[in-house]
Amino acid sequence: MEENIKQLTDTTLANIAACDTGAQLNDIRIGILGKSGALTALLKSMKDIPPEKRPEVGKIVNVARERLEAAIADRQAVIEQQELDRRLQSEKIDISIDVPTPCAGGYHPLTLIRNRIVDFFSSLSFVVDEGPEIETDYYNFEALNIPADHPAREMQDTFFVTDKFLLRSQTSAGQIRMMEKVKPPIKMISPGRVFRADEADATHSPVFHQVEGLVVDKGITMCDLKGILDLFAKKFFNENTQTRFRPSYFPFTEPSVEVDASCSQCGGKGCRVCKGTGWIEILGAGMVNRNVLKNCDIDPDIYTGYAFGVGLDRITNIIYGINNLRTVYENDIRFLKQFN
């Protein structure tokens, strides 16, 4: 009996030492210590042993059981540690690999100039009011003195969404919205995107940007318009910049002008940038047409006003010396990086 127990213990200890999964170890435990395990069977056969020998044999069995239980627990701990190590190894994340450093974002050149224009006019107490990009025919045309059959509609090839709704072709729509909301004195700018069915090329894009300006009060004259635009040009190009008005036509202003700034590149002598003329066109403007004031319930015998529409893309191109409008819209990171 004693010999049996010793042999059983030794082989089992060897098996425990050799096993390397939790499942195997569990099988060994059940095989020896389980209900019908080998050691349990030995204990059951105690009844065949003479009573005087039982305590001694019982002790041997118990010692053997304790040794086996301890060996199983130790092995269990080792196997668990091994399994953990294996998992840590296989799931390890290599944090040493080089990743490209994300570059800090910056403002788009159009946004930079737009913000400067907004700051400039805000400092002169103009309020900023951005109208909707989807407009009604009424705000974009009708109320601006451009009825449905008016040939001036041809000046702007418009994207219509439905018969009544369109993508605004000019920020001038914002003038009407403002004059409906607020009665004079009015001093506002309306920056935003405008849309025209133009083919994209070096100087055209179906989406571009304008900043509309509107001032309505008693006694506003063309001198006020000239003064503010001159200040604007000196601020945005340089202090020697001159402005000139050329007669033009817009249905919503009378008289209407196109405004040129002396070329900041050559100072007006004539160069490649100004195509030898010494001047660069920067915006359209004029005195608000009486009909437009009337459409907004403002009495044109009491109030007068001026309006202007700056091409933001044009100003940006002049300031940064960009000669192809497409560069501004392609968003090539190498181009954009230069502005930060």
In the complex, which residues of this chain contact ligand PHE (CB under 6 A)?
170, 172, 212, 250, 253, 284-286, 307-309
CB of 196 to ligand PHE, least distance (A): 9
CB 298 within 8 Å of CB 179: yes
- Closer CB to ligand PHE, residue 12 or residue 308? 308
CB of 190 to ligand PHE, least distance (A): 10
- Closer CB to ligand PHE, residue 241 or residue 253? 253
CB of 286 to ligand PHE, least distance (A): 5
Dihedral (Cα; 131, 134, 139, 145), 10-degree rounding: 120
- Closer CB to ligand PHE, residue 189 or residue 285? 285
Using Cβ positions, the residue closest to ligand PHE within the complex turns out to be 309
Number of H helices, E strands in the chain: 12, 9
Pull the structure tokens for residue 22. Answer: 């939790």
CB of 101 to ligand PHE, least distance (A): 43
Q: Which of 202, 188, 205, 209 is nearest to 312 (CA)?
A: 209
Report whether the peptide linkage leading into residue 185 is cis, meaning its omega lies within 30 degrees of zero.
yes
- Closer CB to ligand PHE, residue 172 or residue 304? 172
CB 305 within 8 Å of CB 187: no
> Torsions phi, psi of 280, nearest 5?
-130, 130
CB of 134 to ligand PHE, least distance (A): 17
Q: Which of 174, 183, 89 is nearest to 133 (CA)?
A: 174
- Closer CB to ligand PHE, residue 28 or residue 285? 285
